């Protein structure tokens, strides 16, 4: 009986978090998704105190110069987890999705004989199984996926932020590791963080797609966007064709926006793009193809030549 | 400088733009069938393939030893011979295909095990280029798992790769862009690549390789390594559904663009999406 109780309490969830990787509310939402019962493995925090009141069973803080948000050595973290840690202790590891945590999840699963799932949109804990939803078929479908192997290493998209809580502090242990720079690469030379993308804050947004036709169409769209005091973004084809910049890209590979009004011009309506504008209050779609998928996912559908309609909008801009 | 070897792994998957809305809505489980759509090289892998050719071009221009470019795919779709002809015409030295009857759509670790086994047998390669993810599974796991299985370094979200005397200069993002010099073999997963499209060979280039064909390898060739992974439990897809995006879908009609624009602006003003006097 005692063994059974021990087994039940030890088969718990461990949330792995790199200090500074995202807002604390995201971490709080991971804890909520794990049925509110998890321990925290914290990398890169000089002071673990703010994490002790969030409702974790326990916190283990790993302090190491090469395991911080700026310089996270994934293989060192995996070595620590598989050698220094008792990996059999945890049934599942939950991480908030980033490039580094995805790598950590897969390497940890391979090293421990477990399994991994990256980019879960939702996560539910059902006994010893985890049930996740994630996008498949080019983001057009949602797949419910059951994860049964142990340990389960799951990264979750940082979509939700739970409100902060302040509970009684949990126990905390601190581990200090030596710095261990990878020998297979030089230190990364990073570009300075760009200014906040203007598309994110735009109330009125115009978006150009393949149907805009080329640089002349883009110039027309820019003039019209300016006339309406709006911003101009684009879907993937104008970037790939060199008509617009990568910073202008909206969608899964670019920025997600939430304008009050979003015009799309010559956009077919593939799901990776639609996910980038799904929070727009109103979507107006202009396309010459009456069967374009965008017409199923907009508020106002206008079957018309993009350039002619842009010119019409601009002519009318003084009368609105 | 000595010659070096690059492996580019690519997947031929169905393009999804022509799948009609009703088909998405009818999808319920993993047996969902879109085989009627056109197969094509995954967009991220197209960037990886073109980057490999760009590296070769640069070495050629510098008078250095020409790298050996090998490609690998799993499965043998009917279009593979044509795809292989294009790859040969572009300048790839070998097109290898692992023949399997298994449905690997939702088995990324099994897929990775096949690739890793191939690399162990036919490698070493100085650089292994892959796309970061592909339809229909969109797991984003295969390059990571290959790197983990072979204990190789991994660089994700790669945009560009350039050969240097000491190794490869990589431009990637995590999510901010950075540059780094990589020593020794590594797996590079391409996302929004600088070189987006695979070049189109000329007729002369195609004719020059008309007798070349892909080399098929049965999956059993790699049974020793891959079987170690085949017994592991992959995640199980239990259902598929098409997310419903609820929008009003009001059609604005009119005889001219101006007429439609007037109707639209009136609607937008009425519903408060465009304030009067805002422009």
Q: How far is A234 from chain B (nearest CA, A)?
A: 15
Q: What residues of chain B lie within 8 A of the CB of A300, using their CB?
A: 248, 250-252, 264, 267-268
Greatest CA separation found in chain B?
A: 72
Residue among A137, A67, A160, A92 at smallest CA distance from B42 = A137
Instruction: Tell whether the model's pLDDT for residue A2 goes beyond 70.
Output: no
Q: How far is B213 from chain A (nearest CA, A)?
A: 30
Judge contact between B173 and B194, C-beta under 8 A. no
Q: Do A299 and B109 touch (CB under 8 A)?
A: no
Cα(B78)–Cα(A300) distance, integer angstroms: 41
Q: Is B221 left (phi over 0), alpha (psi -120 to 50) or beta?
A: alpha
Q: Do A260 and B273 touch (CB under 8 A)?
A: yes
Label residue A37 by pLDDT band (50, 70, 90). confident
CA atoms within 13 A on the CB side of A86: 6
Cα(A125)–Cα(A154) distance, integer angstroms: 12
The sheet carrying A204-208 orders its strands as: A231-234, A204-208, A261-265, A282-287, A300-303, B250-251
Secondary structure (3-state) at A112: helix
Q: Do A320 and B184 touch (CB under 8 A)?
A: no
Q: How far is A245 from chain B (nearest CA, A)?
A: 12
What predicted TM-score, i.e. pTM, was given to this entire model? 0.89
- The position carrying tokens 């949990």 is A170
Q: How far is A9 from chain B (nearest CA, A)?
A: 24
Q: Do B156 and A284 touch (CB under 8 A)?
A: no
The ipTM (two decimal places) reads 0.90
* Closest residue to A300, CB basis, from B145, B184, B250: B250
For residue A237, the tally of other CB atoms under 10 A from its CB is 20
Cα(A278)–Cα(A298) distance, integer angstroms: 10
pLDDT at A6: 32
pLDDT digits (tens, 9 = 90+) for A255-278: 899 999 999 999 998 888 998 999
A103 to chain B, any CB pair closer than 8 A? The answer is yes
Rg of chain A (C-alpha set): 24
Q: Do B179 and A293 touch (CB under 8 A)?
A: no
- Give the CA distances from residue B157 to residues A245, B160, B177, B191, B192, in Å, rounded to whole numbers and listed in that order: 17, 9, 9, 5, 7
Q: Do A320 and B269 touch (CB under 8 A)?
A: yes
Bond preceding residue A229 cis, omega within 30 of 0: no
- Give the CA distances from residue B161 to residues A85, A290, B129, in Å, rounded to whole numbers and listed in that order: 36, 41, 10
Instruction: Tell whether the model's pLDDT for residue A293 goes beyond 90.
Output: no
Cα(B74)–Cα(B39) distance, integer angstroms: 14
Q: Do B252 and A302 touch (CB under 8 A)?
A: yes
Instruction: Tell whether the model's pLDDT for residue A9 goes beyond 60.
Output: no
Q: How far is A12 from chain B (nearest CA, A)?
A: 20
Q: Do A296 and B249 touch (CB under 8 A)?
A: yes
Q: How far is B186 from chain A (nearest CA, A)?
A: 9
Q: Which of residues 131-150 of A touch B (CB under 8 A)?
A: 134-149
A107 to chain B, any CB pair closer than 8 A? The answer is yes
Q: Do A140 and B19 touch (CB under 8 A)?
A: yes
Residue among B232, B228, B219, B224 at smallest CA distance from B103 = B219
Residue B34, both tokens: 């879109």
Label residue A285 by pLDDT band (50, 70, 90). very high
Instruction: Tell whether the model's pLDDT for residue A10 goes beyond 50.
Output: no
Average pLDDT of span B169-186: 91
- Give the CA distances from residue A117 to residues A79, A147, B52, in Å, rounded to whole numbers and listed in that order: 20, 8, 29
pLDDT at B78: 86
Integer distance in angstroms from the first to the last C-alpha of chain B? Answer: 62
Instruction: Tell whether the model's pLDDT for residue B225 goes beyond 80.
Output: no
Chain centroid to CA B72: how far? Answer: 12
Judge contact between A81 and A67, C-beta under 8 A. no
Average pLDDT of span B220-229: 69
Q: Considering Cα of B102, then B106, then B107, then B112, what sign does the dihedral take?
A: positive
Judge contact between A316 and B261, C-beta under 8 A. yes
CA atoms within 13 A on the CB side of A116: 28
For residue A232, the tally of other CB atoms under 10 A from its CB is 23
A54 to chain B, any CB pair closer than 8 A? The answer is no
Residue of B141, B150, B152, B195 for testing the chain A interface, max A β-carbons within 10 Å = B141
* Closest residue to B17, CB basis, from A100, A190, A270: A270
Cα(B139)–Cα(A92) distance, integer angstroms: 19
Judge contact between A148 and B233, C-beta under 8 A. yes
Cα(B46)–Cα(B192) distance, integer angstroms: 10
Q: How far is B180 from chain A (nearest CA, A)?
A: 5
Instruction: Tell whether the model's pLDDT for residue A17 goes beyond 90.
Output: yes
A187 to chain B, any CB pair closer than 8 A? The answer is yes
Residue among B2, B162, B152 at smallest CA distance from B67 = B2
- Cα dihedral B151, B157, B162, B168, rounded to 10, equals -20
Instruction: Tell whether the model's pLDDT for residue A210 goes beyond 50.
Output: yes
pLDDT at A96: 94
pLDDT digits (tens, 9 = 90+) for B111-144: 999 999 999 999 899 999 999 999 889 999 999 9
What would the DSSP string read from start to end of B129-191? EEES--TTT----HHHHHHHHHT--EEEEEEEEEE-SSSEEEEEESSSEEEEEE-S--EEEES
Q: B103-139 as b/e, with b when 16 or more CB fall inside 10 Å?
A: ebbbbbbbbbbbbbbbbeeeeebbbbbbbbbbbbbbb
Q: Do B175 and A229 touch (CB under 8 A)?
A: no
Task: Tally C-beta pairs within 8 A across A and B.
Answer: 227
Lowest mean pLDDT among A103-117, A266-280, A305-319, B218-232: B218-232
Q: What residues of chain B lie within 8 A of the CB of A134, using their CB?
A: 138
């Amino acid at each position: 009986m005692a063994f059974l109780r021990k087994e039940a309490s030890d088969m718990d969830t461990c949330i792995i978090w790199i200090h500074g990787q995202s807002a604390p509310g995201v971490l709080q939402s991971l804890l909520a998704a794990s049925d509110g019962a998890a321990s925290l493995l914290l990398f890169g925090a000089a002071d673990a105190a703010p994490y002790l009141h969030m409702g974790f069973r326990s916190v283990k803080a790993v302090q190491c110069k090469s395991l911080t948000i700026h310089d996270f050595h994934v293989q060192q973290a995996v070595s620590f987890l598989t050698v220094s840690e008792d990996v059999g202790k945890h049934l599942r590891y939950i991480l908030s999705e980033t490039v580094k945590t995805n790598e950590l999840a897969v390497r940890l699963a391979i090293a421990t004989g477990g399994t991994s799932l990256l980019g879960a949109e939702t996560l539910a804990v059902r006994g010893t199984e985890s049930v996740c939803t994630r996008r498949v078929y080019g983001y057009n479908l949602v797949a419910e996926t059951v994860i049964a192997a142990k340990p389960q290493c799951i990264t979750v998209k940082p979509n939700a932020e739970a409100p902060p809580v302040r509970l009684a502090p949990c126990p905390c242990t601190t581990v200090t590791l030596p710095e261990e720079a990878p020998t297979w690469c030089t230190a990364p030379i990073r570009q300075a963080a760009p200014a906040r993308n203007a598309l994110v804050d735009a109330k009125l947004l115009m978006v150009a797609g393949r149907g805009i036709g080329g640089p002349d169409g883009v110039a027309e769209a820019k003039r019209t966007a300016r006339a309406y005091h709006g911003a101009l973004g684009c879907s993937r084809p104008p970037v790939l064709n060199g008509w617009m910049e990568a910073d202008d890209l909206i969608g899964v590979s670019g920025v997600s926006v939430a304008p009050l009004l979003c015009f799309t011009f010559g956009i077919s309506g593939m799901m990776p793009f639609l996910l980038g504008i799904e929070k727009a209050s109103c979507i107006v779609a202009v396309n010459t193809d009456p069967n374009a998928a965008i017409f199923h996912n907009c508020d106002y559908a206008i079957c018309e030549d993009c350039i002619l309609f842009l010119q019409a909008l601009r002519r009318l801009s003084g009368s609105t | 400088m000595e010659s070096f070897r690059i492996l580019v792994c690519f997947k031929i998957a169905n393009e999804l733009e022509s799948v009609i809305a009703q088909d998405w809505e009818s999808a319920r489980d993993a047996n969902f069938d879109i085989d009627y759509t056109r197969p094509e090289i995954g967009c991220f892998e197209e960037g990886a393939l073109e980057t490999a050719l760009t590296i070769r071009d640069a070495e050629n221009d510098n008078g250095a030893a020409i790298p050996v470019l090998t490609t690998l795919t799993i499965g043998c779709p009917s279009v593979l011979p044509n795809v292989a002809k294009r790859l040969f015409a572009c300048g790839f030295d070998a097109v290898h295909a692992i023949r399997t009857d298994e449905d690997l759509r939702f088995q990324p670790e099994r897929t990775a095990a096949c690739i890793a086994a191939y690399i162990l047998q036919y490698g070493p390669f100085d650089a292994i280029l892959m796309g970061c993810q592909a339809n229909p599974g969109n797991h984003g796991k295969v390059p990571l798992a290959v790197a983990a299985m072979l204990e190789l370094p991994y660089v994700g979200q790669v945009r560009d790769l350039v050969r240097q005397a000491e190794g490869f200069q990589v431009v990637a993002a995590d999510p901010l862009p950075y540059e780094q010099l990589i020593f020794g073999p590594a797996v590079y997963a391409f996302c929004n690549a600088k070189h987006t499209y695979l070049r189109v060979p000329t007729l002369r280039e195609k004719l020059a390789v008309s007798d070349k064909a892909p080399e098929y390898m049965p999956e059993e060739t790699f049974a020793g390594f891959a079987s170690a992974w085949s017994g592991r439990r992959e995640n199980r897809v239990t259902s598929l559904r098409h997310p419903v995006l609820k929008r009003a879908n009001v059609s604005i009609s009119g005889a001219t663009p101006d007429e439609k624009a007037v109707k639209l602006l009136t609607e937008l003003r009425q519903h408060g999406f465009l304030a009067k006097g805002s422009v």
